[in-house]
Amino acid sequence: MLLVALLLRWTLVAPSTPRILCGAILALPFAIGARFLYTGHRRTYGWLTLALAPSLVLGLMEAVVDPATRAWSTLFVFALLATFALFVAYLRATRSSSPP
- For residue 89, pLDDT over 90 is answered with yes
Instruction: Report domain extents, the chain.
Output: 2-8+17-93
The CA distance from 58 to 79, in Å, is 13
Contacts of 73 (CB under 8 A, 6+ apart): 10, 59, 60, 62, 63, 66
Tell me which of 82 and 21 has the higher pLDDT: 82
- When pLDDT is averaged across residues 42-46 and rounded to a whole number, the result is 90
**How far does Cα 17 stand from its chain's mean position?**
21
Tell me which of 46 and 20 has the higher pLDDT: 46
The CA distance from 55 to 5, in Å, is 13
pLDDT at 100: 57
The CA distance from 48 to 10, in Å, is 20
Task: State percent of the chain over pLDDT 70.
Answer: 95
pLDDT at 98: 54
